[in-house]
A and B are shown apart, each in its own frame.
Chain A
């Protein structure tokens, strides 16, 4: 889906420098990953690949990712001091740098630990745009441009119907939908971009579906 450029894509956004892909994009990946994890982690590990690994320290990619996970947005002037903030918040962090040319030049794998553990991967595709492309091994395509419902569940016939019927009952329009399942075919995932935010009552109804293990309702990011 080609996005129409607005005036504010050109005379904006307001961001922390120095790089829209290596700094602002990193903040955004961290920020969305933090929202998906759903809590401030006790421990977080970032593995930066390729260009992120090679030039990341000079661009503050490390600080951007960490700041994002801690809930800082792209224009937060505290990003520069993300390490100090993490220490204050008792979040332990670790960075690894690697090369893998099978991956996008600006890729990162994030492992978050707290009351549970999640693995989230993202890429910074340029101009501050990002994509969360993997959560706990499942393929996703989340860029923060839409309200997004994330579900991981035990795979059985009729699950997509049950979820979309529920959305329909709330008169919510689906912009895009992305499904995946694990190798054994026992577990599956859905990433659903919606034109409006899912209300809490709908989330409670989804929680009642016993096959569903994980539900996240991610609000569209401000631009």
Chain B
């Protein structure tokens, strides 16, 4: 059985077999799960379709979450882009709106693909699907990109639990952004080295991101963070495709993230006991919602 535990092993295997990273990833998955590569790609396609469905519904809705805190920001962005007066080109606008569309579907109890988690579900689909539409990429290219994203998250998760409660948001939205950056390079047919550079550069710059959700809900700051980190992934991919490399190798970056996660106070790891959650406004919202929850049901 093939053993791929680190990015170095992934890279070395791909180079020695003269294959792309997604090819090694699907081959590895097939050997570990005893499911054919064809079936794996079919399942990836199903998840890709679920992502597309969430974006479609999200773009059409203004429905707020149960708390009423979020849910209509995607509509605001779409309204702005109607005017044609934006700094962002069309592909960037799509990346941003698709991220909001997906994460807002999540908070209104819609169907989404946890990627890697529910709270970071907007980032990878936004980048892959918006870019595919913009460059006219075919479905096979999208599937290759999603598998590339997946193996990035999979290898990070060998060392670091992808959970805000364990390592903060760097391990949720941060990892999602690195996955998306790598996927984007794959869509532009970048080299294996560029794919890993995109992930490395992205991860390095979200290190230490805390998880401090107001009132314990996947809403503030999660919704906007999905939008920001989707755009951020594009930057990571741009740098990598320009040939810019991370000075620190990606495996060492993941080690550092793990260390930072361990050093991070539990108050900043999804417990809503610090950061934005305990600002004056954060606490006020939390108290108001506690009252609201008593009244419903």
User: Contact residues of A with B, CB < 8 Å?
Assistant: 4-20, 23-24, 51, 54-55, 57-60, 62-63, 75, 77, 79-80, 95, 126-128
Contacts and interface: CB of A to CB of B under 8 A. Distances in A.
Given A17-B121, A24-B118, A55-B216, A62 B297 contact: yes
A23 B111 contact: no
A138 B163 CA distance: 31
B67 A58 contact: yes
A15 B109 contact: no
B254 interface: no
Contact of B47 (A14, A58, A79, A126): A14
10 contacts: A7-B150, A8-B43, A14-B111, A15-B118, A17-B112, A54-B216, A55-B217, A59-B217, A63-B109, A126-B165
Interface string B21-41: 000011001001100000010
A62 B116 CA distance: 24
B114 interface: yes
A18 B218 contact: yes
Contact of B105 (A6, A17, A58, A79): A17
Contact of A11 (B44, B166, B289): B44
B243 interface: no
A10 B115 contact: yes
Contacts of A13: 113-114
B269 to A, nearest CB: 12
Contacts of B126: none
B146 interface: yes
Interface size class of B (residues with CB under 8 A): 35 or more
Interface stretch (B73-81, B91-99, B152-160, B232-240): B152-160
Given A12-B114, A62-B297, A80-B109, A18 B154 contact: no
B117 interface: yes
B113 A7 contact: no
B154 A95 contact: no
A5 B32 CA distance: 10
B111 A127 contact: no
A151 B217 CA distance: 39
Interface string B204-238: 00000000000111110000000000000000000
Chain B contact residues: helix, strand, loop or mixed = helix
A122 to B, nearest CB: 18
A59 B162 contact: no
Given A17-B112, A75-B111, A128-B114, A8 B293 contact: no
A75 B151 CA distance: 23
Given A7-B147, A10-B116, A17 B44 contact: no
A6 B293 contact: no
Closest 9 CB pairs of A and B: A17-B106, A10-B153, A55-B216, A11-B150, A57-B293, A80-B109, A18-B218, A7-B150, A58-B217
B25 to A, nearest CB: 7
B163 A126 contact: yes
B38 to A, nearest CB: 14
A103 B115 CA distance: 29
B29 A79 contact: no
Contact of B154 (A10, A19, A62): A10
A127 B110 contact: no
A23 B32 contact: no
Contacts of A12: 47, 113-115
A18 B65 contact: yes
B119 interface: yes
